[in-house]
């Protein structure tokens, strides 16, 4: 049987979040730097585990001779947009021809005023920022006032950061649910994201209890197709959230990459039926993004 004819009983599809292998041709549309290449910058000293080199990542990054049994390729996204939702939906076969709304100047007053009315308190921020930088910038004021920090990025996201000792995580999730209910129509962002953090001024850090509140897919996906045909789909990490639970048979919640890898290892032993395991390893985005 040739590779083309081969049918695999199980497929393990793993996305390393925010671990890019180079800029795409439309980088300028998103204000990116054409030299961006997370993988190359991280592993240029060959500190990367030999497993990735043996599977061909060196060929993708430096066009080194192929000396491994793997099939390797670098793909270009067809969809308009560069956020996690758009990318994961396209992996599942749904190409977005119209991008989700983005807010390079922050969210308009009608959105923020209504959000503040619904949650019963003022907010801080409301501008594009790195998640790690904005808690350095506004974290102390947040702790003093109790006002949640709202920010966005080049992605279609409404992010809410709050110190776990100031706004309990369950209350932060409820604020995100309120934002998700509010952000519809022209302001239907792809995701509302809870970004809890902890620590003291000068030493704030994001905790693993991030949660994504995504729009349901705007069309049919491969995940839907598999589940409809009785083929199970197991989601590991934030995959369940990115698809709003649709086309998912079972979910494995994880808080970091170590838990994600452990979950994959366990599934490799226990998930023996025909099906798909779709995983997202989030640390490179959650900790450094």
Question: Each residue of 58-87: pLDDT tens digit?
Answer: 777 766 565 666 788 888 899 988 788 999
pTM, full prediction: 0.79
Percent of the chain with pLDDT over 70: 90
pLDDT score of 282: 87
| Run of H or E including 266 | helix 257-270
Asked if pLDDT for residue 5 goes beyond 70, the answer is no
Buried b (16+ CB within 10 A) or exposed e, 84-106: bbbbbbbbbebebeebbebbeeb
CA–CA dist 129, 143 (Å, integer): 19
Confidence of residue 144 (pLDDT cuts 50, 70, 90): very high
Mean pLDDT for all residues in the chain: 89
Helix (H), strand (E) at residue 63: none
Residue 209 contacts by C-beta under 8 Å, 6 or more apart in sequence? 164, 169, 194, 196, 255
Residue with tokens 């990318």: 87
- What is the average pLDDT across 212-232? 96
More confident residue, 155 or 117: 117
| Residue pLDDT, tens place only, 81-118 | 878 899 999 999 999 998 899 999 999 999 999 999 99
Span(s) in the chain for CATH 3.30.70.1250: 109-208
Task: Please report which confidence band the pLDDT of residue 47 belongs to, taking 50, 70 and 90 as the band edges.
Answer: low
Unique residue bearing structure tokens 């450094």? 288
Which of the two residues, 201 and 18, has the higher pLDDT score?
201
Residues in the chain: 289
Confidence tier at 239 by pLDDT (50, 70, 90): very high
pLDDT the model gives residue 82: 78
**pLDDT given at position 289:** 60
pLDDT given for residue 224 in this prediction: 98
What is the predicted pLDDT for the residue at 23?
A: 79
CATH of the domain spanning 109-208 = 3.30.70.1250
The tens digit of pLDDT for each residue in 170-182 reads 999 999 999 999 9
Helix axes 109-119, 169-182, angle to 10 degrees: 140
Question: Can you spell out the DSSP letters for 187-224?
Answer: G--SEEEEEEEES-TT--EE-S--EEEEPPPSS--HHH
């Amino acid at each position: 049987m040739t590779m083309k004819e081969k049918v695999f009983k199980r497929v393990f599809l793993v996305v390393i979040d925010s671990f890019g292998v180079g800029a795409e041709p439309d980088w300028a549309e998103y204000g990116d730097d054409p030299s961006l290449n997370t993988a190359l910058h991280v592993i240029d000293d060959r500190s990367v585990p030999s497993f990735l080199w043996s599977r061909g990542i060196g060929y993708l990054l430096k066009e080194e001779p192929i000396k491994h049994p793997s099939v390797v390729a670098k793909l270009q996204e067809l969809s308009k947009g560069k956020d996690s939702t758009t990318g994961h939906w396209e992996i599942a076969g749904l190409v977005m021809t119209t991008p989700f709304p983005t807010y390079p100047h922050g969210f308009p007053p009608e959105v923020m005023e209504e959000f503040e009315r619904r949650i019963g308190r003022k907010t801080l921020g409301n501008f594009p920022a790195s998640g790690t930088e904005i808690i350095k910038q506004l974290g102390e004021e947040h702790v003093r006032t109790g006002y949640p920090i709202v920010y966005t990025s080049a992605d279609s996201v409404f992010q809410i950061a709050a110190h776990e000792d100031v706004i309990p995580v369950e209350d932060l999730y409820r604020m995100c649910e309120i934002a998700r209910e509010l952000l519809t129509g022209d302001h239907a962002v792809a995701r509302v994201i809870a970004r809890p953090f902890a620590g003291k001024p000068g030493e704030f850090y994001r905790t693993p209890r991030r949660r994504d509140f995504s729009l349901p897919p705007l069309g049919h996906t491969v995940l839907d197709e598999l589940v409809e045909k009785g083929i199970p789909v197991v989601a590991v990490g934030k995959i369940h959230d990115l698809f709003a639970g649709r086309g998912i048979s079972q979910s494995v919640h994880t808080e970091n990459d170590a838990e994600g890898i452990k979950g994959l290892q366990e599934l490799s032993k226990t998930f023996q039926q025909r099906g798909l395991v779709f995983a997202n390893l989030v640390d490179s985005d959650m900790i450094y993004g």
